[in-house]
Structure 1
Amino acid sequence: MQALQSIPPGLAAVARGRDTLLTAEAAPAISRAPQTLRKWACLESGPIRPVRINGRLAWKVADLARLLNGDAV
């Protein structure tokens, strides 16, 4: 529950209570291009890792919040 309290307002507005965001939603929320997130997923080189839902990349809101807050993921 602590992670919910640390979600920045802009990210919370995009997430609207969901646990994950698709790449197209997550990228602008963290000021990155969607292709950057896809590259992180493909090369497994980014600060956060996606989950796959029905073959599509989804990014955990809690991980995105930690990234925005500067916390280690």
Structure 2
Amino acid sequence: MQAQAAQLIPQGLAAVAKGRDTISTVEAAHAINRKPQTLRKWASQENGPVKPVRINGRLDWRVIDLARLLNVGG
């Protein structure tokens, strides 16, 4: 199943993630061509197309969720 998920991840996103399950807000914003503040706004208002994972008070973003967003044309 993990191999199947890896096929869904666009090459640019995979290069940023480097095998990690989550990436930082800055990395995620770059990968989906948005500003980091846009992702922070999605998180604070809970109205974005993807939801973050909070790790020790920090926002991280699931690579698979970002891949789904990119694959449907976000």
Q: Same fold (TM over 0.5)?
A: yes
Match of 1:48 in 2: 50
Aligned-residue CA RMSD (Å):
1.0
Match of 1:10 in 2: 12
The amino acid that maps onto 2:10 is P
Deviation at 1:3, TM superposition (A): 1.8
The answer to whether 1:57 aligns with 2:43 is no
TM-score, L = length of structure 2: 0.92
Aligned positions, number = 71
Q: Deviations over 1:31-68 (max 9, x none)?
A: 00000000000000100000001110000000000000
Identity within the alignment, %:
70
Gap runs ≥5 in structure 2 = none
The amino acid that maps onto 1:46 is G
Task: Give the Cα–Cα distance (whole angstroms) in 1 for the partners of residues 19 and 66 of structure 2.
Answer: 14
Task: Give the Cα–Cα distance (whole angstroms) in 2 for the partners of residues 56 and 29 of structure 1.
Answer: 18
Task: Give the Cα–Cα distance (whole angstroms) in 2 for the partners of residues 69 and 53 of structure 1.
Answer: 26
Gap runs ≥5 in structure 1 = none
Deviation at 1:9, TM superposition (A): 0.3
Divergent runs of 4+, >4 A: none
